[in-house]
Each structure stands twice: as structure tokens, then as C-alpha cells.
Structure 1
């Protein structure tokens, strides 16, 4: 690693530690918390620090050493406020005419440390009716059953839908399982006359449209 890269990664650690210190009221504790998230021989990066911190705050397997219940609650509240301020979900009635619009609706799962599967219900004119997280899994997989997806869509009056899930790993490349599930949902949507318009894989600020990058929709016609 170059000297400039090392300096940048340690800047990430110091800035994150300072922010945590401001929230919990102890600069020393902030630095200690960041240090506890890393292995002894591991270089700090934006992804490993922030990813592990998100997992710890969401009740995952990672524990924040030295932080009591009040401090944990403060950090969780700060995280919730950040999401509310900077993840702008499109309003009900917004027309989804581009995958980027749907990605905004899935913003709340894009940064999650575990896989979550969500569905965006649309009307016949592709206007947003509602969004719901259908299932939550582990850091590497989640399970979404077509029965649960389409039952909810029928309940809210959805006549079209876009499905989406996150990859906590940071890669938005669809897995074979993602493609198989997409095929299954396309077939189910045809039977129920509720077309699946797209399947988006999101992670952080990145996404991939499976419809735009594969031939699955052409094959299903």
C-alpha cells in the first residue's frame, strides 16, 4: 500500500472516531470504538469501518466494546437521523420511468449489513403505491418466497412491481440464485397478471438492473 493510501485510510478512521466521539461525548471512546472494529493487522478502510459499525448498530454479531446502552442508543439515533436526512425516497404517486427512481425507493436497504428483499408496488401507470421489505436474512443471503411477494402486492392493489435486494458485500453483480429467483418471479407474475418490471441489486450508492443487463425478460415473452 502506498504512503498516500495509508494516510487516506487512517484519515477515515480518525474522522469516524471523532464523529463517534462527538455523539457519545468522549473523543477517546470514539477512537477506541473504531479500533475495536478492526483486527490487529488490518488496515482501516471506509468499507470495513462503516460496514461493521452498521452491523453492530443494527444488532448484528459484531459488538461495540466499551459502549454502554445509552451510548449505543445515541449512535443508533444518529444513524436513523442520517438516513432520514439523506436517503430521499420518492413519494407515493411518483412515476417510475427509470431504474434510478426505483433505486431511491430501495435506499433504506442499500446500506444494510444483512441482505434484505424489498418490493415496490406500482399501479398500471407505473406510479408508486407502496414499498415493503419482505424478508431479512444474513450477510450473504436472504429468502423471498413468491407467495409472500404477490400476496402483499394484491393486498395493496399493485398491478405492476419492481423487486430489489441488497448485497452487503459491496458487489452489485447478480448471483446465479438472483437470476433463478428473477425467472421464478417473472413466471409467477405472468400467471397472476402482475408483471415484474425489473429486479435491482443495490449496495451503497451502486446498483445493477437485471432487466437491463440480462436477456431474462426477452426469454420470458
Structure 2
């Protein structure tokens, strides 16, 4: 006979209470606890960050079936309002001549629960022409091909670029795969004569510059 662990499953009580209250305020109904409970399996341990990520993904995807379309629309509007209020967008034409300036462009992926790869296309004076998300992956991996990068830069009329991807884990430490990908892209950049100025790893408001922390640009 299988004996089930009698310990109560972990619940991030304070986080759940806060999110539940915010949901109830937005909807005008007491549905927050039920919505959050549907995001967590019965015996699952989940962190506050993971719970926020799941809620964000579910709202964006409309994966909250017990909500009416109108209530779902309210949550989606609240999510977008928060994003626009707290994620500052870098204006086109601004010079990205330091990692601190460049990283602000990639706030659009910094809190994503899955890995995304993005590019900022620049002119000869390092002024921002556009920012594009090139690929989306899993919670631990995303894949991008060199032709996608340089095609976007040329279409934008750019002459150089900064690339970035996010780590949903919260760590900005580049993996060995990140370093190898950067090496391959830098080799391709030399052939295309389109310099990659930096590769940033971003996560939850923090970042790491591979140019500043590796010797890849001096090889």
C-alpha cells in the first residue's frame, strides 16, 4: 500500500493573499483564491516568483476558463497597464553607447517566464532603429539562427546591433551554451560586416554583459 506524505503542501501564503486581493479588486468579485488555486497542483511546491509567472502567462494566453470574457479582458487590461507604467521603453533614435542604456531596450523580455531572444538594431552612431523579439523557447532554452539576426538588421537599415536573451530563473550567469552561441554569432558578424556590440543576459531587472565579462570580443 502506498503511503502518502502527510505533510501539508507548500503554499506561498503571503504572495497568494496579495495576488488574490489584487485580482479581486480588478474584477470586483472574490475569485482570486480560486484562480490561483487552479494554477497549482494539489501536492506541488511553488515559489512566489513561479506563481506570478504562471498567472502572467495564463492571463496573456486567456487560459482562465472559469472567467467570463469580460472579466478576462479586465485582467488582461490590468496586466498591460502595469507593463506600460513600469517597463520604460527606450525611444527610437537614442544612442545605446553603454550596457546600462542598451539593457533598458530589453525590459520587454526581462520578466518573461520562457526564454526569448531579442535584437536591437542600431545605425553607425549606435542610435536605436528598432527592437525585435526573434524567438521564444522553453523555460531554459531558446534557439536563434545567425541569418535571422542579420536579416533583421539589414531590413532595418542598421549597421550594427546588440543582442540579448532572458533567463527566467533569475540568474544572469551565462551558460556554456550562451557563450558558444555568442562565439558563433561573432564569427558570422565578421563575415557579414555587421558588428554585434554586446550580448546581454537579462533577468528580473538585472543583467550581465558578455562583452564586459568574457574575452570573446578580443579573440
TM tier, shorter chain? 0.7 to 0.9
Q: What does residue 34 of structure 1 align with?
A: 36
Aligned to 2:210: 210
CA distance in 2, matches of 1:58, 1:143: 22
1:1-221 matches, cutoff 5 A = 9-27=12-30, 29-42=31-44, 45-59=47-61, 63-64=63-64, 66-219=66-219
Distance 2:44 2:195 in 1: 46
**2: CA distance, partners of 1:40 / 1:217:** 49
What's the TM-score once normalised by structure 2's chain length?
A: 0.88
Structure 1 residue 42, shift from structure 2 partner: 4.8
Deviations 1:180-218 (A, max 9, x none): 111111111111111111111111112111111111111
Query: What do you get for the CA RMSD once the two structures are aligned?
Result: 2.0
Give me the whole-angstrom Cα distance separating, in 1, the residues matched to 2:45 and 2:197.
Answer: 42
Instruction: Give 1:113 deviation, angstroms.
Output: 1.8
Q: What's the secondary structure of 1:58's corresponding residue? A: helix
Which segments of 5 or more consecutive residues in structure 2 lack a partner in the other structure? Answer: 1-9
Normalised TM-score (structure 1): 0.87
- Structure with bigger helix share is 1
Deviations 1:137-167 (A, max 9, x none): 2222221111011011011111111001112
Unmatched 5+ residue regions in structure 1? 1-5
Where 1:84 maps in the other structure, the secondary structure is helix
Aligned residue pair count: 210
- Deviation track 1:33-67 (CA, whole Å, cap 9, x = no partner) reads 1232233345664302211111212329xx43632
Cα distance between partner residues in 1 of 2:65 and 2:91: 39
CA distance in 2, matches of 1:71, 1:106: 30
